[in-house]
Each structure stands twice: as structure tokens, then as C-alpha cells.
Amino acid sequence: MTRAPAAPDGDTTRPLAAVSSPRVLARLTGLLGLRPGQLALPVGLGTVAVVAGAALAGLAGYLICRAAQQPPILSLTVLMVGVRLAALTRPVARYGERLAAHDLAFRALGRLRAAVFARIEPLAPAGLEAYRDGDLLSGMVADIDQLQDVALRLLVPLGVAVAAGTVVVAAVAGISPDAGLVLGAGLLAAAVAPPLLAARLVARSQRRQAALRARLTANLVDTFGAAEELWLNGADDRAAAVLAADDRALVEVALRDARAAGAADALGVAISGLTAVGVLMASTAAAGRGALDPLLVAPLTLVALGVFEAVLPLSAAARHLPLILSAGRRVLDLAGREPEVADPGEPAAVPPRFEIALHQVAVARGPRRTRVLDGLDLRLEEGASMVVTGPSGAGKTTLALLLARFLERQAGEARLGPRDLRDYRQDDVRAAVLLSAQDPHVFDTTIRENLTFARPGATDAELGAALAQARLGDWVASLPAGLDTRVGERGRALSGGQRQRLALARVFLADPAVLVLDEPTAHLDVETAGALLDDLWRVAGRRSVLLVTHGSPGPFERCPRVVLQRPGPAPADFIPSG
């Protein structure tokens, strides 16, 4: 089994790989809506916590050394108060920092989800067709969730490290320039070297890990979804072997990552420990020269031991950076795609009449731009009905997508009312021309919520009427929870016919002027299908209906019929998914 590549080979897929990391981060920060002002609170609190910790260690050390000289106990009071104050400040500031940082991360995540959704919304359905389910999952959810770390694991720790490091080093340098120099150098080394090492060693393999993970997730989803058929066909062992190979590849990369992580960790421990020794040596030497009060050797050493907690999170951040960047690139890539259909600069007013006229229309689809419709003429008067038939692959669905402005035509004329389809806003076209697709999506929620989006604010009576029209009324009434029955993932709890009828009930609720129905009876038995077409015919009276079907059109038999033919030798509505 050969695997199809994860991303579609469209024409706009690759540009972001070349974009530099800082620019990716800048764009992500924009999508996340992170501004410096929002970072000030968690960074400020984090700095206070680190400084208080250092102060506690330094003051306690000084207190003890001073006490060893046995001064009057009252002279130590100020020191004792300082020690207690620092001890109280630190936990409180730390608590505030963590809450503020998490709040910030979650807020940013909400903005990001909404922003990404807003960008991909105009891409559907044509622009997202080639995305595999599993990839959409990892692309949309794992990648986006990963990006909440931009604030939590990247920006806040970085801010705290810089601010707290500067304050503490300045204070130490003020007491002993030598010790300050050693501590500053050590802190800088610890802030740069282990994170760089981790990032450099991990960058390549982790970029691979993210891709491997996405692929493994997608393959797992596919395999779980096809489990029954794979098992029944005796293909389960082969599928398991494919997965096992993917799994091995991922584990191998993970094992290599482990070494990098271990080395970076060890380097951090070594630098912080040796710096404390260095500070001890520098301050001892300064005291020996008489340049420093010997009592201050202990506090300086203790401060040096404690302050490294400020730079510790930077290694984890650096290890995360490649993951964040590659997830961010994928998200930005998806968000940056150009929609297939664009609104005109100066849209015409809402169509006043709804007759449709196509003249010599040609549509090409897919990366190969295969002709699916060619030289099509069609006229649908307002209030009239029409049947479109033709062999599978003749472009029936393409015609339906074209009429609802989900596809752009390459040649010919297409008018809705007095003007070209392209002159209207897409929303205005779709408010008039409703496409009920061959495979309408049923949302994993209640029957009610699956209906109300077609007419927000619809009353139960209106919902009931629409369900009755779709011949679902009795069934819904028989359910214990009625309209509030949940239909399961992709309407799993419904039969194929019930799903189709639920979709039709939505159509009745939306009440469009032109109704384009793509194979509405495909999953219905003859009786129900006939009854449904009868109902459609009755409802059609005052609106135009374009019925795409390969079966019996029922009462629509008497309407004009357009028979589509496959254009030329090229494949019809085939879009390679790989």
C-alpha cells in the first residue's frame, strides 16, 4: 500500500517553508493576538518571584554570617524581617505568574482557533477537498493546541529570564564586580548554550517527529475507521504491518531526541553548578584582596546557586521551538491559502430575480485542471423545475457546486437574474441558491441543533413542520428525547435514509428561492423516495428546483431534463487525493 502524501500538491502549498523562523513567530504572535502589554503581568510577577528567591537566599546567608560575629541581636532585626518578607513574597508572586500566564495562553488559543477557522472557512469545500481526515485532525487540532505554548513556554519564560537575570546580576555586580562578571557570564552561558544545543540537535529530528506523528495519527484514524473491512478481507495483518513501520520510524527519531535532551540537561546542571563555584572563588579572592567584606561571600554564593531557576525553563522552550515552528508553519500555510471563489470588489445588489442561464460553460477542477464540464447550456426559469441526469462522472455534482458559487468557471457565461453570478457576493448567491449536497454533514449534536442553523431562532413548531415535510416527524416524535436526541459522530445513530431526510428538513427550513438537490434520494428506499419527491414537488410550486439524480425523478418526470455527458476522454469529477 503506497501512502498518499500528507498535503495536497496544490500550487500554493510550499511558500512558508522558506519563511524565516522569526517571521513565522511574528506572524503567529499576530494570529494569537499577543501584545507586549499582555505579557507584562506574567513576566513582571515571574521576575518578582525569582528576585525574591535570590533575596531570601542572600539575606539568610548574610544573616547567619553576621550572627556568627555575635553582634547585639537587635541589630539583626532588619535582616530577619527581610528574610521573612522575601519568604512570603516569592510563593505569592509565583502563583500570580502561573495564573496570569495560563490565562494569557488560553485567551490566545481562543483567538487563534477563531482566526484559523475564519481563514479556512472560505476554502471549503473545493479548497479543502484534498485534505485527508486524519491530517485535518492533526493539522487543525494538534498544531493549534501546540501554539498555545508560544506564550506559556516561549515568551513568558524568556521575558522572566531576561528581566530577572538582569536585576540579579546588576545587584551582585554592585556588591562585587568580579562575582557579578562570573555570574553574568555563567547565566548567559546557561541561558544560551544548553537551549542552543537542545534546539540544534532536536530541530531536525523533531521536525521529522511532527511529520511522522501527523502521519501516524492519520494512518491510525484511517485504520480504525476501516478496521471492520480490513479484518473481514483478511487485510488486518498488512495494515498492522504498515502501521508498525510508521511506529518504528517515530520511535527511532524519539530515541535520538532523547540523547539531545539528556545532553542539554547535563550541560545546564554543569554550568549552573560550576558558576556557583566560580562566584565563590571570585568573591573569596576579592575578600582576600580586601576588596569585599568577607561576610558577603556566603550571600553571593547562595544567590548564585538560586538564580539559575530563571534560565532553567529556557531549555525546555528551545526544545519546543522547532515543534512550535513547524506546527505554526502548517497553520499559517493552511490559513494563507487563496479561496477558489472570491467576492467581487463592488458586489451587485441581492439578485432581484432568480432565473439561471448558463451558456457554453466550462469548468476544470483539481491540480491537473481537468475539464469536468464543457460547453454547457442550461436555462432554469424562476419557479420552474428541471432534472439533471447523466452517467456517473458527467459533472452533475460540479454543476451543482458551480450554481452555489463553490466553484469558478473557466469559460462561458453564467447568470443569476439580470447579472453574472460573479457580480454578487457569495453569501447573496447562496441565500438564494441552496445546495443540498450528495453527502450532507450531520453534526455530532442534537437533532434540534442540526436543524436550527438552517434558520436560526426557528420555533419547535417550525422544526416540527420541516421534519414532517421530510417524513421524519413520526420518528422524531417517537424518540424519548425528541428534538434533543443526539445523533452521534457524523450522524452514526441515524440510518443513511434518516441522515438524508434530516438534511432535507434543513433545506425546508432554509426556504431558498432556488433549490439545487444533488441525489437527494440516493439512500432512500423506493417508497420513501417517491413520497419525498412528491413532497418536494409540492413545496417546489413557488421556487425553482434543480434536481440532480440518476434514479427516477418521480413527479419531476414532467420537467425539462438535461442529460450531461462526460466531456472527452479526460476523467470526470475525479480529483486525485494524493
Partner 1 sequence: MTQGPAGAEHPGSGQRLRPFDRRLLGRVAVARWALAVNLAAGLTGALLLLAQMTLLAGIVADAAQGRLRQVPAALALALAAVIMARAGLAYVVELSGRRTAARVMSALRAELVKRRLSGGGAAGLETSDSAELATSAVQGVDGLETYFARYLPQVVLACTVPVAVLLWSAVVDLRSAVVMVVTLPVIPVFLALIGRSAGARSRANWQALAGLSSYFLDVVRGLPTLRAFNRGTAQIPHIREVTDRYRRTTLATLRLSFLSGVVLDLATTLSTALVAVTLGVRLVGGTIGLRPALTVLLLVPELYAPVRRVGSLFHASADGLAATERILATLERDPPTAGPVAGGVAVRDRGTASPDPAAVPVRVRSVTVRFPGRPGRALDRVDLDLQPGQLVAVVGASGAGKTTLGRVVLGLTRPDEGVVLAGGRPLADIGLDNWRGQVAWAPQHPTLVPGTVADNIALGRPDAGAEAVAGAARRAAADRFIERLPEGYDTLVGPGGRGLSAGQRQRLGLARALLRGARLLVLDEPTVHLDEAAAGQVAASIEALRGSATVLLLTHDRDLAARADRRVLLDRGRTAGPAGRADGPGAKVPGVPAVAERVR
CB of 20 to partner 1, least distance (A): 26
Q: Which positions from 236 through 255 interact with partner 1, judged by CB under 8 A?
A: 236, 238-240, 243-244, 247-248, 250-251, 254-255
CB of 49 to partner 1, least distance (A): 9
Q: Which positions from 172 through 211 interact with partner 1, judged by CB under 8 A?
A: none
Tell me which DSSP letter residue 486 carries. B
- Give the span between the Cα atoms of 180 and 172, in whole angstroms: 5
Q: In what order do the strands lie in the sheet with 433-436?
A: 433-436, 514-518, 544-548, 385-389, 561-563
Which of residues 262, 344, 375, 418 is near partner 1 by CB under 8 A? 262
Q: Judged by CB under 8 A, does residue 154 bind partner 1? A: no
Half-sphere exposure of 69 toward its Cβ, with a 13 Å CA cutoff? 10
Residue 250, all three cell numbers = 517515530
Q: Which positions from 349 through 368 interact with partner 1, judged by CB under 8 A?
A: 368
Of the pair 19, 223, the CB lying nearest partner 1 is at 223
Which of residues 154, 202, 297, 447 is near partner 1 by CB under 8 A? 297
For residue 476, the tally of other CB atoms under 10 A from its CB is: 22
- Give the span between the Cα atoms of 205 and 260, in whole angstroms: 10
CB of 513 to partner 1, least distance (A): 13
Which of residues 155, 510, 517, 540 is near partner 1 by CB under 8 A? 510
Q: Judged by CB under 8 A, does residue 98 bind partner 1? A: yes
Residues 350 and 424 sit within 8 Å (Cβ to Cβ): yes
Q: Judged by CB under 8 A, does residue 329 bind partner 1? A: no
Which of residues 40, 114, 342, 350 is near partner 1 by CB under 8 A? 114
Of the pair 92, 342, the CB lying nearest partner 1 is at 92
Strand pairing report for 514-518 and 544-548: parallel
Q: Judged by CB under 8 A, does residue 120 bind partner 1? A: yes
Reduced to 3 states, what is the DSSP secondary structure of residue 515? strand
Q: Is the dihedral of CA 175, 176, 177, 181 positive or negative?
A: negative
Of the pair 247, 355, the CB lying nearest partner 1 is at 247
Q: Judged by CB under 8 A, does residue 577 bind partner 1? A: yes
Q: Judged by CB under 8 A, does residue 92 bind partner 1? A: yes
Q: Which positions from 542 through 561 interact with partner 1, judged by CB under 8 A?
A: 550
Burial 485-513 (b: 16+ CB within 10 A, else e): bbbeeebeebeebbbbbbbbbbbbbbebb
Residues 470 and 505 sit within 8 Å (Cβ to Cβ): yes
Of the pair 184, 390, the CB lying nearest partner 1 is at 390
DSSP string, 167-207: HHHHHHHHH-HHHHHHHHHHHHHHHHHHHHHHHHHHHHHHH
Site track for partner 1 across 457-496, x = CB under 8 A: ------------------x--xxx-----x--xx-xxxxx
- Give the span between the Cα atoms of 32 and 40, in whole angstroms: 16
Residues 183 and 169 sit within 8 Å (Cβ to Cβ): yes
The span of 26-34, 172-180, 375-383, 569-577 binding partner 1 (CB under 8 A) equals 569-577
Of the pair 360, 443, the CB lying nearest partner 1 is at 443
**Partners of 416 in the β-ladder:** 356, 419
Q: Judged by CB under 8 A, does residue 20 bind partner 1? A: no
Q: Judged by CB under 8 A, does residue 233 bind partner 1? A: yes
Dihedral, CA of residue 530, residue 531, residue 533 and residue 537, to nearest 10: 130
Of the pair 10, 23, the CB lying nearest partner 1 is at 10
Of the pair 20, 527, the CB lying nearest partner 1 is at 527
The span of 17-25, 33-41, 410-418, 437-445 binding partner 1 (CB under 8 A) equals 437-445
Of the pair 295, 465, the CB lying nearest partner 1 is at 295
Which of residues 9, 229, 338, 420 is near partner 1 by CB under 8 A? 229
Residues 365 and 398 sit within 8 Å (Cβ to Cβ): yes
Q: Which positions from 130 through 149 interact with partner 1, judged by CB under 8 A?
A: 130, 132-134, 136-138, 140-142, 145
Which of residues 32, 48, 51, 63 is near partner 1 by CB under 8 A? 63
- Give the span between the Cα atoms of 225 and 222, in whole angstroms: 5
- Give the span between the Cα atoms of 128 and 333, in whole angstroms: 13
Q: Which positions from 378 through 407 interact with partner 1, judged by CB under 8 A?
A: 389-393, 397, 404, 406
